[in-house]
Amino acid sequence: MATYNRLNPEDTAVSTDKVVSNTWSDNTNILQDNFTSSAQTAISTATSQGNFFIEVFSSASNQGTDPIEGEGPTQYTLSYGHKAGSGSLNFTATAGALGNTATKCIYRQYAQLVYGDENSNFVFDGYEATDIWVINIARGRYKHALKAGSLNLKLDNATNIDFFTDDSITQTGSAVTTNLGRQFNLVSGSDGVMSGSKLTQTSHFASLGGIDSGSFGFVYPEAGLIIFNGAALRKRTAAYWTEGSSAATQNLAGSMFSAIQRGASFELDSEERVSSQYMFVRIKNSEFNYSSNPSYIDTNGNLNNTTMADSPTTYITTVGLYNDDNNLLAVAKLSQPLKKDFTTEALVRVKLDY
């Protein structure tokens, strides 16, 4: 019959470690090649997929401008949102329904996710933004969260080159807590360190009486989201980062894609928390010196091997973990058999990761 020993509280310990891994396919943390498909970027109708989002892949059979549709796993998606619905066609021309467009859906969708209210507007360092660009990292590309401080994104719009990161290192890990988890600021800089000392890193809007354009955006590590403030981008290159026009068909998500593709450097790490429970199985000298194997004794309960009567010896190979009903829950195998008799004691540490 098997022998059961209950583990006491002092026999267990729990630890949690952070494990960092690469985000992108092919086990790399710097994405250099970015491709879309012509079918997904089509915006010919109000409900075309390209008006809502475009998927970006890391590979294509032709490393040129016309990649094969859908080749390779999705790395991230790109979207453009406008709070008034500009930048895409109205879903319907029915009176009272004008302004309901794909870009308005995008803006209100992400407002709902962040603020819990679709009627809220994005405010970046005091500036209420009319439009946003969104990078949504594919859920399968990261574990529990994106690693704060690992973002290094290069945008090249053919006029200016900008480098973006989050400000987690500058803020020493301090973040605003939202419905999507931690919120860091998207800033000009690298490796989690903001360039300069001011969160708004662009000049004033002279046309608006010197009003700031606000910060560049927000980063949400747990949700895998990077949200850009359109006004701040326009302060860098107004002719490139154009705001959506009313009831017009514009490939504005494609503008972000082109800037990322030309930049050819999107660095990002994934992070997960791995909890480990340690159980210390203490084997005293008087315990487990006889085998529970049925062949160990005969039908009368006598030892089949009489030499075991005076100096019993066993070899421990397995530790079983049971619940209170003696149901086996987990098995731990030793790397090699452990010799056990009345003159020895042992301590076996069992590690359970989850």
pLDDT for position 230: 96
Helix (H, G, I), strand (E, B) or coil at 90: strand
**pTM reported for the whole predicted model:** 0.78
Paired tokens of 194: 């903001």
Residue in this structure with the two tokens 């705001």, named with its chain if needed: 243
Residues 6 or more apart whose CB falls under 8 angstroms from that of 40 comprise: 49, 50, 54, 55, 69, 70
For 304-312, the CB contacts below 8 A with 24+ separation are 311/341, 311/342, 312/341, 312/342
Helix (H, G, I), strand (E, B) or coil at 162: strand
DSSP conformational letter for 5: -
CA distance linking residue 301 with residue 318, whole number of Å: 24
pLDDT for position 298: 77
pLDDT for position 70: 42
Strand partners, 90: 101
Residues 6 or more apart whose CB falls under 8 angstroms from that of 306 comprise: none
DSSP string, 189-222: EETTEESSS-S--S--BGGGTSB----SEEEETT
Cα angle, residue 274 at apex, residues 322 and 352 outer, rounded to 5°: 20
Reported as type and span, the H/E element at residue 263 is: helix 252-263
User: Quick count: other Cβ atoms within 10 Å of Cβ 335?
Assistant: 6
Residues 254, 241 contacting (CB under 8 angstroms)? no
pLDDT in tens, the chain (354 residues): 466 888 999 999 999 888 899 999 888 999 999 998 877 767 878 888 888 999 999 887 433 444 444 446 899 999 999 999 999 888 877 655 666 899 999 999 999 999 999 999 999 999 999 999 999 999 999 989 999 999 999 999 999 999 999 999 999 878 999 999 999 999 999 999 999 988 988 875 555 445 678 999 999 999 999 999 999 999 999 999 999 987 677 889 999 999 999 999 999 999 998 889 999 999 999 888 877 777 777 777 777 777 666 778 888 999 999 998 889 999 999 999 999 999 999 999 999 887
pLDDT for position 280: 94
Q: Tell me the Ramachandran region of residue 158: left when phi exceeds 0, alpha when psi lies from -120 to 50, beta otherwise.
A: left
